[in-house]
Chains A and B, each alone.
Chain A
Amino acid sequence: MADGTQGIIESFNNDTIKTDLPRFDIGDTINVHVRIVEGTRERVQVFQGVLIGRKGRGVDEMITVRRVVDDIGIERTWPINSPMIAEFEVVRRADARRAKLYYLRDRVGKSRRLRDRRRGMKHVEGLRTKQ
């Protein structure tokens, strides 16, 4: 009984974990298509922003996406595997040297931007982006 415990729990997780996610890394600008239910109607809202952190792993993995509207920063955090998220799209791939880009919160103006990725593109070459 003992050795299979984690395996049994993983078997339930595997039903939930999404396998069709595009490859996205920290710093990428992504579109998150969020399902919103209003009464009986359902619509999809797109949230575009910079992926500033991924946290947790497996079924518990969360992502934090930051965007700036009218000089007000907005950050939203979702579980990657939530069925409320219809789709992820990569809009632009950028260069980040850190796993968490919390320093972007303190940046103002042009320094807010991340460089386009010039190196380390090999593993994403030819992968789907929106443009």
Chain B
Amino acid sequence: MAPTLLGTKLGMTRVYTDAGVSMPVTVIQAGPCYVTQIRTPDADGYAGVQVGFGDIKPRNSSIPMIAHDFKAGVEPQRFHREFRVAEGDLGDYEVGKALTVADLEKVAFVDVIGRSKGKGFQGGMKRHGFKGQLASHGVERKHRSPGSIGGHGSEAGASGRPKKGKKMAGHMGDVRVTVRSLEVVKIDAERNLLLVKGPVPGANKGVVVVRPATRLYKSKAAKAAEVAG
């Protein structure tokens, strides 16, 4: 099983396929990540791997974190994340081991997880895709309003107030977003670079998590199996 990696979104550009089709790609600098701790069912009750990513000056880290990384035999790491691993795959990992994009060689599709750009307080049309009201036909000053929010639709029946979780205006963005099943276009193991098709969440230079795709529909699954060999 290919590992999950931490990386930095560098930006977008385009590449042309062999068929001459322009393809939008995101360049991600993924890894090298170092295993800093291993979670075992015996000690922790679950199987997982903690990895560190990114250089940091020791003076910007903290003594406990530096010691934690030192115990794993690696330089101080800027980010630490933990990922669940199937129990049988734990043997593939050992503390201090470097995980790189080269480990994704046989992966055709990846999921990318990032933190989306914050959009501030937004109305229902932008935030939830509401249609708003008509432009004319007597509509005045309410063209972008969400309309009725209901009054007696709560879980408890006719309670006289709007249902919990009702979609309304509010803060948008700056949440964890997963984009699934992005095609891996290219891997540059030398420079730890990964090109995936299409956009990924967050701003340039933001931290993203790259993992082998977990849900694939039929045609993509067939292609993934082919690449994996």
A residues contacting B by CB (< 8 A) are 1-2, 5-6, 8-9, 12-13, 15-16, 35, 37, 59-60, 79, 81-84
Contact = CB atoms under 8 A, between A and B. Distances in A.
Contacts of A35: 20
Interface of B: 8, 10-16, 19-20, 22, 25, 27, 29, 54-55, 191, 193, 195, 204-205
A82 B29 contact: no
Contact of B15 (A1, A12, A37): A12
Contacts, number: 45
Shortest 10 CB-CB contacts between residues of A and residues of B: A84-B20, A83-B20, A5-B10, A9-B11, A83-B16, A9-B13, A9-B27, A13-B13, A12-B13, A8-B10
Given A5-B205, A9-B11, 13 more contacts: A1-B8, A1-B205, A8-B10, A12-B25, A15-B15, A16-B14, A16-B15, A16-B16, A37-B19, A59-B14, A82-B20, A83-B16, A83-B20
Contact of B191 (A8, A13, A83): A8
A8 B27 contact: yes
A82 B15 CA distance: 9
B208 to A, nearest CB: 14
Contacts of B11: 5-6, 9
A37 B54 CA distance: 46
B13 A82 contact: no
